[in-house]
Structure 1
Amino acid sequence: MALHFELVTPEKLLRSEEVHMVVVPGTEGDFGVLERHAPVMSTIRDGEVKIFASAGATPETVRVEGGFAEVNAEGLTILAEKVVEEN
């Protein structure tokens, strides 16, 4: 079982992949999303999105600044205002 995850900025689609879990920095607090999560929409705060490729894996982190997260029957889409590239 896997969660379909997409990370999008105003410029382009950055990621579209199947993952185990994503932890989102919501404005009301961080929340984890697994496959079959209840539908929800949330604004997101500046912070790190944690992407777990598989159960027990070390998460990959992507820094975002603002935006929205939507969970629906298709999976999780994060519409980030900006993704901060790590150097």
Structure 2
Amino acid sequence: MLHFELVTPERLVRSEDVHMVVVPGTAGDFGVLEGHAPFMSTVRDGVLEIYKSGATTPETIRIEGGFAEVNDRGLTVLAEKAE
């Protein structure tokens, strides 16, 4: 499982283990699974798609701007806003 955190300046919005997250990067959407290579990306206004398991319909969260970081601990999205 992939550890995923969504953080805004006000609070920790989400911290959980999931199957996959699709992030609206400024160069295009990208999916992150467990074991993804480390990298950082800026994030555009758009929708995060959170897949709890491989065969589910994603939960969506609208975000505005920010950064995404993938490292050996998982995926962290630092968004300016999350709804």
| TM score, norm. by length of structure 2 | 0.99
Give unmatched runs, 5+ long, in structure 2. none
Aligned to 1:83: 82
- Pairing 1:14–2:17 present: no
Aligned to 1:24: 23
Q: CA deviation at 1:42?
A: 0.2
Amino acid at match of 2:80: E
In structure 2, distance between residues paired with 1:27 and 1:50 = 16
- Pairing 1:47–2:66 present: no
Aligned to 1:63: 62
In structure 2, distance between residues paired with 1:59 and 1:74 = 22
Aligned to 1:73: 72
Could you say what the CA RMSD is over the residues aligned between the two structures, in angstroms? 0.4
Percent of pairs with identical residues: 72
Q: CA deviation at 1:11?
A: 0.5
Q: What does the per-residue CA deviation read over 1:61-83, in whole Å, with 9 as the maximum and x for residues that have no partner?
A: 00000000000000000000011
| TM score, norm. by length of structure 1 | 0.94
Give unmatched runs, 5+ long, in structure 1. none
Q: CA deviation at 1:56?
A: 1.2
